[in-house]
Structure 1
Amino acid sequence: MPSRRRFLTTLGMTSIASLAGCIDFGEATYSPGTDADTEWPMPAYDRGFSAYNPDAAAPRDGVTERWSTAIPALPRRPVIAAGTVLVPTASGLVALDVGTGEERWRHGKADSRARTPVVHDGTAYVGLVDPPGLFALDVETGDQQWHIKNIGYDEAAPTFGVDYDHLYVGGVGEVSQIDPTTGKVTARTEVFGSVTALAHNTSLLVGTEGGEVYSFSVGDRGFSDQWRLKVVGSVRAIVTSDSDIYVATWGGPAYRLQGGLDAGSSRWEAERGAVGGLAAASRDVVGCDLSGLRTFDAHSGDVGWNREGEFTAAPAIAGDTVYIGGETEGEGGSGFVAAYALSGGRGIGSLRVGGKRWQFDVGSDRPVGQGIAVADGAVFACTEGLKGDTGPRVYALDPA
């Protein structure tokens, strides 16, 4: 029979071991990206709009400004490909050199109101409100390859099929399948309401302003219905990671939807949603709004960690780090870009320390808005305006 001292010692060691198992001491699940030559060719990086590139190198310990460039009003999330930063604005699509920030070309006019483009194989596909339609443009020169009138100028960014041989574009009450080389519409299907989100993993996922989520099997034969689900609130974003589907809504919760035999049903709902934007890594889903930045456990929906603040730019994840933008209230407040450890730092559950890696203040009385992009070893962000008459700017931030 063991002595009381040995029993208490064993009990203490067991308790410590159990507690240690509950404490996250680092980045065991995620590791820093090492590739400094990556691109960000779609608004949220890939066809599934995950906003997650595990291989991308990006600033982790601090930043320095590579360049900042003035742009027209109302910028949207930038896209980076072929050495070019594409910024959609109220005055058309602006192309900047990724290394210097110098303007290369513009497409559109004063009231064009460009939508966020997608890029593949040296071609950018962008919708404009005026003239209304979808344009295919050479990324390096801005030369127009084709234009489809009265299609693709709504809020949802396009996405591609699995082999990039089809481009899918949303509209009011319909989704179109387009041959990206010719601009020919090859198929259409109807949906209920205006399309607000598109994503593609093993199927085409469509979200609408009326809170409908659709799944279509797509290909050379067009569209084939798989399932349809009504959610609470207007769909603002659909994000996929592997076979998982996450939905952010305006006026409702965030959802994880099931695949397989139960495809289309809800696996979990998070009351505090992610209307400001979503990003999905292998184990964690990152969401933000004007009340905070938080992670959800991908399987259970439980909140992993939360940081209070007014976060106004959709997050991006590179390697083991979350990049986000926002605004600070009060006299002398400034818009900012910040980086957080995807693990949330060290601690138990939501009680963690050391999660914030750096913050860069842009000196603006308006927020860093729309969304963050990570490419070419740097972080890219747009401000919605600056004090004085200098207007909005695009920032490229390098490691310090």
Structure 2
Amino acid sequence: MPSRRRYLAAVGAAGVPLAGCSYIHGSPSADEPPEAGVDDPPEPRSDLHGADGEWSSFGCNASNARAVGDGRAPVDGVAERWRVEVAGSAYREPVAADGRVYHCFTDLSAYDADDGSELWRHPDVETTPVVRDGVVYAGAEGRLLALDAETGDTAWELTLSENESVGVPALFPGEGLYVPVGEAVYKIDPETNGVEWSRDAFGRVLGPPAYVSQMGCAFATEAGYVYLLGHDGTGFGRWSLPAVPEAPLTADVDALYVNCLDGATYGIDMERSPRLDIDWHAETGWASAGIAVHQFVYTTGTNGLRAIDPDSGDSLWEYDTGDWRWTAPALGRDTLFVGGGRLYALDPTPGSGTPDQPAVRFEKSFHGRVGPGPVLDDGTVYVIAQTGERTYHLLALE
């Protein structure tokens, strides 16, 4: 019997609306990229909670799946619209929502998406934010901040710890904010700013937590554990990993994926969760910036780009993007965008190129490495790239 994940993939491929990210199976060839949906862009995907058609959080949506509904994503080449200089050690990717682009290094900056002009800067923010309905939620030293997206002014703040930094928050629409703080996760009501519950974990939480279907949230810790909690904080499962996780995990309909410092990516099938076993692992190298999932699992990092079968962990194809681990795949308009040695746009359909590699839609080179990013929003690719011997820029490409 096929898994629920396989069933949803088959339904999507058959053309029944799973709104948002365009379907990967049966996509046009690299010579015939998908038509733009300027007048009728796809709706956010109904199977990805928190998908709002924008790249408004780490991993794009509440499941950290790095898939966006953007019918205008550029698939046949890009030109630069603007650039803003950033530090070479800026390893957080931007997020974009409502005509603004946000990037956090030593503080949080908001830029106009049209021309790159700086709109405001907040000195206390220490994390990638999540943006929703005109509010920017972000972590600071011991505090969760809610900022006005237009001005950067503090709407409210909530002290959660005296000695721990607040990690990257996740917002599950209709459920609330899930916030990692040291070795604990807090659930916050964004309307009242109140703590609904908190749960301790073993090891520092690698945030943000990921939404898991209707079950609740999942997260990994630096002690090598994966936890699954219900929306009321009830513990549903705990898995022990053989190595320390390298990045926050990604959730699919009934599965979890996490990359570890032993150079492997691990898959957990929650349909078989009573076993509390790891179902498979794939030798992917370090994938420090996250994992993309839509029908298949995509990783990139020290071993280049991989497409992995989500049920078996078998490699479907590989592509040489170099060994830069601070980039991650982004899915939109039947195209896989990724950095590394350059910016790549690939047709992820198995067999689209050679049997062992995807077809290339386009490539764009800069002076050096590409990433953090790319992320996609409103027909634009945002990415950090090395633009000179000692210069790095956040770029808007269209």
State the partner residue of 1:257: 268
Please say if residues 33 and 55 of structure 1, whose CA atoms lie closer than 8 Å, have aligned partners that are also in contact.
Answer: no
- Mean Cα deviation higher: 339-348 or 303-312: 339-348
Please say if residues 311 and 324 of structure 1, whose CA atoms lie closer than 8 Å, have aligned partners that are also in contact.
Answer: no
1:356 maps to which of 353, 360, 380: 360
Correspondence 1:116-155 to 2 at 5 A: 116-129=128-141, 132-149=142-159, 151=161, 154=165
Please say if residues 139 and 167 of structure 2, whose CA atoms lie closer than 8 Å, have aligned partners that are also in contact.
Answer: no
State the partner residue of 2:196: 186
Structure 1 residue 372, shift from structure 2 partner: 1.8
Distance 2:83 2:394 in 1: 5
Distance 2:306 2:365 in 1: 21
Please say if residues 129 and 139 of structure 2, whose CA atoms lie closer than 8 Å, have aligned partners that are also in contact.
Answer: yes
- Gap runs ≥5 in structure 2: 1-22, 29-33, 42-52
- Mean Cα deviation higher: 256-265 or 308-317: 256-265
Q: Note if 1:81 corresponds to 2:97.
A: yes
What's the TM-score once normalised by structure 1's chain length?
0.80
1:300 maps to which of 312, 321, 325: 312
Q: Note if 1:95 corresponds to 2:110.
A: yes
State the partner residue of 1:17: none
State the partner residue of 2:9: none
2:171 maps to which of 156, 160, 171: 160
Q: Would you say how many aligned residue pairs link Structure 1 and Structure 2? A: 349
Please say if residues 96 and 102 of structure 2, whose CA atoms lie closer than 8 Å, have aligned partners that are also in contact.
Answer: yes
Please say if residues 56 and 374 of structure 1, whose CA atoms lie closer than 8 Å, have aligned partners that are also in contact.
Answer: no
- Mean Cα deviation higher: 61-70 or 152-161: 152-161
Structure 1 residue 276, shift from structure 2 partner: 3.2
Correspondence 1:47-86 to 2 at 5 A: 47-71=62-86, 74-75=89-90, 76-86=92-102
Distance 1:157 1:33 in 2: 35
State the partner residue of 1:217: 230
Structure 1 residue 66, shift from structure 2 partner: 1.3
Structure 1 residue 100, shift from structure 2 partner: 0.9
Please say if residues 203 and 222 of structure 2, whose CA atoms lie closer than 8 Å, have aligned partners that are also in contact.
Answer: yes
Q: Which amino acid aligns with 1:82?
A: D
1:319 maps to which of 330, 333, 339: 333
- Mean Cα deviation higher: 142-151 or 169-178: 142-151
Distance 2:335 2:96 in 1: 19
Distance 2:166 2:382 in 1: 21
Please say if residues 277 and 314 of structure 1, whose CA atoms lie closer than 8 Å, have aligned partners that are also in contact.
Answer: yes
State the partner residue of 1:392: 392
Distance 1:73 1:182 in 2: 39
Give the secondary-structure state (helix, strand or coil) at the position aligned to 1:262. Answer: helix
Distance 2:62 2:127 in 1: 17
Correspondence 1:225-236 to 2 at 5 A: 225-235=235-245, 236=247
Distance 2:26 2:166 in 1: 35
CA separation of 1:299 and 1:100: change in aligned 2, threshold 3 A: same
Q: Note if 1:39 corresponds to 2:54.
A: yes
CA separation of 1:160 and 1:193: change in aligned 2, threshold 3 A: same
State the partner residue of 2:12: none
Residue deviations 1:314-365, cap 9 Å, x none? 22111211111124xxxxxxxx322111126535642x46x2222222334x
Please say if residues 56 and 318 of structure 1, whose CA atoms lie closer than 8 Å, have aligned partners that are also in contact.
Answer: yes
CA separation of 1:257 and 1:178: change in aligned 2, threshold 3 A: same
Structure 1 residue 384, shift from structure 2 partner: 6.3
CA separation of 1:392 and 1:184: change in aligned 2, threshold 3 A: farther
Distance 1:30 1:162 in 2: 31
Please say if residues 35 and 57 of structure 1, whose CA atoms lie closer than 8 Å, have aligned partners that are also in contact.
Answer: yes
State the partner residue of 1:382: 384
CA separation of 1:59 and 1:255: change in aligned 2, threshold 3 A: same
Residue deviations 1:192-251, cap 9 Å, x none? 010013211232101101110000001xxx310111000122222211122222111122
Q: Sequence identity, in percent?
A: 29
Q: Note if 1:368 corresponds to 2:382.
A: no
Q: Note if 1:237 corresponds to 2:248.
A: yes
Give the secondary-structure state (helix, strand or coil) at the position aligned to 1:260. Answer: helix
Give the secondary-structure state (helix, strand or coil) at the position aligned to 1:369. Answer: coil
What's the TM-score once normalised by structure 2's chain length?
0.80
Kindly name which structure, 1 or 2, has the bigger radius of gyration based on alpha carbons.
1
Higher relative strand content: 1
CA separation of 1:28 and 1:214: change in aligned 2, threshold 3 A: closer
